[in-house]
A = this chain, B = another copy of it.
Amino acid sequence: MEASEIFKCIADTQRLRILNLLEAGPLCVCHLQELLDVSQVKMSKQLSIIKQMGLVESHREGTWMIYSIQEPINGLIQNSLHYLREADCSECNQLQRDLLNRGKLILRITDTAEECPDTVCQQIGCY
Which of A's residues lie within 8 Å of B, judged by CB? 1-4, 7-8, 10-13, 16, 75-76, 79-80, 83-84, 87, 89-92
Contact = CB atoms under 8 A, between A and B. Distances in A.
Nearest to A91: B3
- Copies of this polypeptide in the complex: 2
Contact of A4 (B13, B75, B87): B13
A84 B3 contact: yes
A11 B75 CA distance: 16
Given A3-B16, A4-B13, A16-B3, A83 B89 contact: no
7 contacts: A3-B87, A3-B89, A4-B12, A4-B91, A7-B11, A7-B80, A76-B83
